[in-house]
Chain A
Amino acid sequence: MPGTVLTITSGKGGVGKTTATANIAAALAQRNRKVVCVDADIGLRNLDLVLGLENRIVYDLVDVVEGRCRLRQALIRDKRLPHLFLIPAAQTRDKTAVSPSDMVRLCNELRQEFDWILIDSPAGIERGFRNAIAPADHVVVVTNPEVSAVRDADRIIGLIEAEEKGPARLLLNRLNPQMVRSGNMLDAEDVLELLAVDLLGVVPEDEAVVISANRGMPVALDEKSIAGAAFRNVARRLEGEDVPLMDLDDAGGLFQRLGRLFGRGD
């Protein structure tokens, strides 16, 4: 069966597209699926760094498209997860070096060999975005529970529908349960009501995300991290499993109790 192309996009930058791509990919690979990540953020490549593969790049996406190497030569295999591969973005070129039809052709080739093809889209609504969604079977929109991120997510969801790539599914990243409880952060329900899309997952704010990115080790592989667990749940949902949302109140409740223990109350 040919593989599925999943594009991860957002509109606004800095909401966690690359983190989401790296971790969903790692979680799928851990489930013994053959996965390739394509970094479509040409000129601003980062997926290699988050995955800890930055020292192994020889060829990149633009080299493949322009015929300077064979597809196989640009695939970097992850040593920890033998089912996980990366095609890095070119760093010294711009978005116009690749066209939407180049991406479709590339992904059709990748579909023959991989179960999942994950495309890390650049921020924005320009050429880079169109390149990233052209080959998509499904699209995930990443957002944070903040006004600017939600507004941009709405815009991108509209564009995805206009390109007939919808319905997009939402990944709400960096939710802080304690702030939600104090009434100072939009909850998942609020965001879903505003955007009127299906929810793929909620990833709580977690220091382990920054720490694992520092180390180049996907947080999805960290059994102790709550964000890692959320990404593993997302991978299971993508594979059709019915996985309930984590009870974030419990985790926050623990922090809150600890806080009170140290006399900080809320």
Chain B
Amino acid sequence: MGWLDRLTGREASAEKAKDRLRLVLIHDRTDLTPAQLRDLKDELIAVISRYIAIEPQAVEIQLSQNGREQYLVANIPLKPPRRSRR
């Protein structure tokens, strides 16, 4: 960072570029917009809920990558089983 940037508190831009590219590349590669991903999540929750009790607010669905391979990673916590009391 140059002295001028330090003086003005402006952040170096390369990190920003990398973060923005990371996101945009994931969506470019899958051809899936953030809005579509949200719809996918809602529908998935609805389908799964028909079979098993889940915590809808805790569901996490995101695109991730390993090398050039893309993954849809879903973390779907189940509702704790109701304890039967006697």
Contact = CB atoms under 8 A, between A and B. Distances in A.
Interface of A: 147, 150-151, 154-155, 157-158, 161, 180, 182-187, 190, 193-197, 265-266
Contacts of B67: 196
B86 interface: no
Interface stretch (B9-17, B34-42, B46-54, B73-81): B9-17
B18 A186 contact: yes
B82 interface: no
Given A161-B68, A182-B2, A194-B22, A155 B28 contact: yes
A265 B3 CA distance: 9
Given A155-B28, A196-B68, A147 B14 contact: no
Contacts of B63: none
A73 to B, nearest CB: 43
A183 B68 contact: no
17 contacts: A147-B17, A147-B21, A151-B25, A151-B28, A154-B28, A157-B68, A158-B29, A161-B68, A182-B1, A183-B1, A183-B14, A187-B14, A190-B14, A194-B21, A196-B65, A196-B68, A266-B2
Contacts of B20: 147
B24 A151 contact: yes
Interface of B: 1-3, 12-15, 17-18, 20-22, 24-25, 28-29, 65, 67-68
**Chain A facing B: main interface SS:** helix
A172 to B, nearest CB: 14
Given A194-B22, A266-B2, A154 B29 contact: yes
Contacts of A182: 1-2, 12
B21 A180 contact: no
Contacts of A157: 68
A187 B21 CA distance: 13
A157 to B, nearest CB: 7
B1 A151 contact: no
Contact of A184 (B3, B14, B28, B29): B14
A243 B12 CA distance: 32
A52 B22 CA distance: 40
A35 to B, nearest CB: 30
Nearest to A190: B18
Contact of B25 (A154, A180, A183, A184): A154
B1 A194 contact: no
Contact of B12 (A151, A183, A196): A183
